Structure 1
């Protein structure tokens, strides 16, 4: 029987009616394989994955394929977003065996879980032949099959990074030079097709620019940011970014929209706007924040994981347009304007003569009448698009990704505060929304002092939090502490970094991705490289630096420095896979700065606004009444001469207190 009917994962529920007798990941499934003496088929994917849907329709919904699988295998379906630990182990095996990875991931393993054959998407005919070949090999070549599994496990258990080193300016300068060499100077970004948004590298380059005064690093980020914002990877009508572009020009995307991408890109565009006052960056940051609120916020106050790539089984139909559709919606005159503006042609850039909308002209610094026409046309097109079939939403709440979103919204709210807009866009209070999401994580996902990975409809799931959950949520709680002045957020962050230090350390300065009391897999994963999301190590290091600066406890700073030292070879040799760790390293070299503003006006005091405007990489900022309870940075910080006073420390060494914005600017710049 198919055992997915009681799953909470939307991805598993998509397969609950398959003729394949799926099991969820469980000890019972492996015990059944051992009892029957058959191999295990492990299929890993996620709800918004286009090719996962294709393989499901072609193979897993086919009765003949189901009969073949059921007779010769125990089949296990895994949601990679719920079980990133399982995904990490078998993705390492897939990459080791094939040289590449992706989803859907298809793994054949012995009943003890050791993988002996791995791949990704298989068309139905090829998948059927593969099932037959594996069945035959299991029957006739068992010894060789098991030896292959042992060899794979031995290979993926090896530490991919040997040695260590010191975090230095020269190391990070070298990393930037490596990135420049890989940079696409024409179209922005790194490498060719497919092209993914390099958000973590952009955050690193922005911090590097601030510390090293590297204008070229800033230009790389600005250029890439503009190219993505004008490309089809950005939703020109509804806001928010798609997962990646299938081409090198950012034109045609893979259409799923992921929470983690949009949270990280919100931080990027917000920072570009803060540093350059670029109106395009301001608009994209604002629209991306609104996308998080309008499209991904759940009834419980968290953020859903993703919007699907497909609409009713077809990719892109919600988002693409033909010239005839523009005429039908807008009339001849405005349709011509829209076609020219959005690059909609008779030939099309997508499928069946349709085009993905790109932005061919500047609309952020134009005459008011052009701006008004743009807004009217976009509004009419969006109203029509809402009437089309819409992609499914994966509404499970993932702790780590919600942490990324909370941090992004806190930074965005602060930036609006600094420019005098009171963070109120379309009557949305982004700080209150960030707090609400934080409450969900604190009240539902923290169970007996430990994090749970996912929840849905307010009900927390069983999968334990992995290291990235602890790091991203602790960093988010530090961000909430800074924008609210509420000490309970700092206390909650401290509890999480305590738990991470106790349960995840590897004894060599680094960290495992799973806790010491987590389910035992064929290896205990410990991957320091960034992938679609920040690695567990880089997430935790960023949280450790923020928490240390806010709490005044140097041991967490030392732990972060030691962890970063273990991946110096990665930073030196492969910086494209260590952007989030490199951004933490920039904060480490910068101090990070600890800025406390003693004031009776903790919302809009000019000293606070100056601190936000000129904050160095990784700086923490708190503002409030002297000796505010639960805020260590304000302890003993009085107002000099009854005037608002700024206290600036760097690496736990403090400058003299200042009372003017000029003095504060001088210290920070």
Structure 2
């Protein structure tokens, strides 16, 4: 029987298009579906997921593609499909509701609402028989006990509208900061370290870049070797594990086991962007060549597999291909032998493969247990000789993989995730000075400003020439962060000016003066049943913590006390929670570090300003703010006013809290001044 398309066939989201030929009469989220529920007084089923989600595919196949189940859904409910990546605002509201019901959140997320879009029941994945029974039970309950369900829905709606600050008992505290709090944050994180395999806690293990970036800053401040040891253990274990694609570069979303071996094979842009930043910064601290290789190979993966012809970055690659999770990435021993010939034995030692396989169905996830230095020594090879062979193996295996059926590509472009990649590329450029990295970052920034910005307003998504969803706070916050980063590696003031304009837009349309924090949605956007604020740093940092960091930096660049004070007040609002729960507020913790360790402002004036800047960037200087120009008087930045190149030679001015050192004319002398001032 020929399948008929439903309303999702008109959408651009790859996730919604995956469901376009389900027999379920799906609607996209929007006024048509919500009005239908009102007119017919039917309950609403909202099913939320994303294109790379394995269990979303399973539930689609088991339930949403089945005529019998679809019939029940169509008869009793108005069914709405939501791409959580395209509508994080909708996802946020209903995820919060399901967690308030005592259910651990996750995707697919299936939530039942009354016609006013208020939730009364929800859960995640359901096997088909359970799902059918649940649908019938809720349909009957809605007829027989409508009043009770509406009362319950009203209570959940009230919970959703409670202020996040009130919910967690937060109140404005003393904005003063101290180093003892940083020590307490470290001790709390330390209590959760996995000292054998890196990371924190048990499986499943997520890389959580914000935690390790905070620890690099804490180490810079304290020189406590335990902090750096845990960062290095974690980064090496991840880089050698199966969570990292040993052949093609790039990271999977998380590891299902405690050893970083078996990944959930989906590859997300936001993970790879932030891990590029993390490994680049760790390289600046350690000069570990493994970290350099990981960064460059991951950038190569993004460029090869996630890049739009005009320079935007796509969202993700699916975990599945040909209906099997991980099939694209794994090899049997026979395949390796056939591809690598006489080198297969050494390669199998290197990648820890066997005839029996190290995963299900006799296949192997390629992973390593030794660094190149250790493996080369064991095999009586030089490191250079080993790496030459490894590159040869990778080229062959990558070519072999290219012949396979590829995982599904989610080719929508999201402003927030692209901005994270711009930041990753600029962080990598600081560490490695590879021109290609800066070129990719600038091309992407131009793409975002051309296609996802109208006036001073941002859009969230772009696909097939169209941007359709108004920008969220995460889009503004992460793009402002990226633009500040671009200024730092180019000294082109246009990037800072864009950042300032977008910041003003957030203050006008997203800011809540009562709580001195930002809403996730703009005042002119669609009004859902609750308007949320994002406080907790998850896999992606909270948009409020990123905005607080942006305001801190822009306050310094433009000498704007209002921005600096607002940043302090935002941090003061969550300060107690940051100290008590740093694993959930790690980006806030990094801001706390910047407040404890005031920034050294370094102005560079003269013909060699770009090369001096690049020399400084080779060092990990998390509390240094760089500004520069080749010609004095050629800038509108307060940091560069009344500064000039003495005797025509490039001159560096190092200041902390408006107190300046004598001008110097070498990077070494500036680094000495920075070290003295920031270690007080």
TM tier, smaller: over 0.9
**Range with greater deviation from structure 2 (2-11 or 210-219):** 210-219
Matched with 2:262 is 252
Matched with 1:437 is 444
Q: Which of 345, 350, 363 is residue 341 of structure 1 equivalent to? A: 350
Matched with 2:565 is 558
Q: Give the total of aligned pairs.
A: 656
Is residue 2:163 matched to residue 1:163? no
Please give the alpha-carbon distance, in whole angstroms, between the structure 2 residues aligned to 1:658 and 1:26: 60
Matched with 1:42 is 46
Counterparts of residues 23-422 of structure 1 (less than 5 Å): 23-158=27-162, 159=164, 160-161=167-168, 162-165=170-173, 166=175, 167-331=177-341, 333-363=342-372, 366=376, 367=382, 368-417=384-433
Matched with 2:652 is 646
**Contact 1:237 / 1:381 at 8 angstroms: preserved in 2?**
yes
Shift in CA distance, 563/267, structure 1 to aligned 2, threshold 3 Å? same
Shift in CA distance, 631/391, structure 1 to aligned 2, threshold 3 Å? farther
**Contact 1:190 / 1:198 at 8 angstroms: preserved in 2?**
no
**Contact 2:432 / 2:618 at 8 angstroms: preserved in 1?**
no
**Contact 2:281 / 2:620 at 8 angstroms: preserved in 1?**
no
Shift in CA distance, 630/398, structure 1 to aligned 2, threshold 3 Å? farther
SS in structure 2 of the partner of residue 98 of structure 1? coil
**Contact 1:300 / 1:457 at 8 angstroms: preserved in 2?**
no
SS in structure 1 of the partner of residue 47 of structure 2? strand
Matched with 2:678 is none
**Range with greater deviation from structure 2 (153-162 or 477-486):** 153-162
Please give the alpha-carbon distance, in whole angstroms, between the structure 1 residues aligned to 2:42 and 2:598: 56
Please give the alpha-carbon distance, in whole angstroms, between the structure 1 residues aligned to 2:510 and 2:373: 47
**Range with greater deviation from structure 2 (51-60 or 550-559):** 550-559
**Contact 1:318 / 1:388 at 8 angstroms: preserved in 2?**
yes
TM-score normalised to structure 2 length: 0.94
Please give the alpha-carbon distance, in whole angstroms, between the structure 2 residues aligned to 1:486 and 1:661: 21
Please give the alpha-carbon distance, in whole angstroms, between the structure 2 residues aligned to 1:478 and 1:115: 40
- CA drift at 1:64: 1.2
Is residue 2:592 matched to residue 1:581? no
Q: Deviations over 1:339-363 (max 9, x none)?
A: 1111112332322011211112322
Q: Which of 510, 532, 538 is residue 504 of structure 1 equivalent to? A: 510
**Range with greater deviation from structure 2 (227-236 or 322-331):** 322-331
**Contact 1:171 / 1:571 at 8 angstroms: preserved in 2?**
no
Matched with 2:379 is none
**Range with greater deviation from structure 2 (185-194 or 624-633):** 624-633
**Contact 2:256 / 2:263 at 8 angstroms: preserved in 1?**
yes
Please give the alpha-carbon distance, in whole angstroms, between the structure 2 residues aligned to 1:314 and 1:326: 20
**Contact 2:208 / 2:539 at 8 angstroms: preserved in 1?**
no
Matched with 1:456 is 463
Shift in CA distance, 614/338, structure 1 to aligned 2, threshold 3 Å? closer
Matched with 2:624 is 619
- CA drift at 1:627: 2.8
Q: Which of 514, 529, 542 is residue 535 of structure 1 equivalent to? A: 542
Q: Deviations over 1:481-514 (max 9, x none)?
A: 2222222211110011111122222222222211
- CA drift at 1:618: 4.3
Please give the alpha-carbon distance, in whole angstroms, between the structure 2 residues aligned to 1:127 and 1:654: 68
Q: Deviations over 1:205-244 (max 9, x none)?
A: 1111112222221211111000100110000000000000
Please give the alpha-carbon distance, in whole angstroms, between the structure 2 residues aligned to 1:383 and 1:648: 51
Matched with 1:597 is 604
List alignment gaps of at least 5 residues for structure 1: 418-422
- CA drift at 1:552: 2.5
**Contact 1:50 / 1:310 at 8 angstroms: preserved in 2?**
yes
- CA drift at 1:62: 1.1
Please give the alpha-carbon distance, in whole angstroms, between the structure 1 residues aligned to 2:132 and 2:235: 44
- CA drift at 1:479: 1.3
- CA drift at 1:183: 0.6
Q: Which of 647, 650, 663 is residue 657 of structure 1 equivalent to? A: 663
Please give the alpha-carbon distance, in whole angstroms, between the structure 2 residues aligned to 1:589 and 1:640: 33
- CA drift at 1:637: 1.7
Please give the alpha-carbon distance, in whole angstroms, between the structure 1 residues aligned to 2:119 and 2:624: 45
Please give the alpha-carbon distance, in whole angstroms, between the structure 2 residues aligned to 1:103 and 1:651: 47
Please give the alpha-carbon distance, in whole angstroms, between the structure 1 residues aligned to 2:405 and 2:603: 50
Please give the alpha-carbon distance, in whole angstroms, between the structure 1 residues aligned to 2:315 and 2:55: 18
Matched with 1:420 is none
Please give the alpha-carbon distance, in whole angstroms, between the structure 1 residues aligned to 2:533 and 2:291: 36
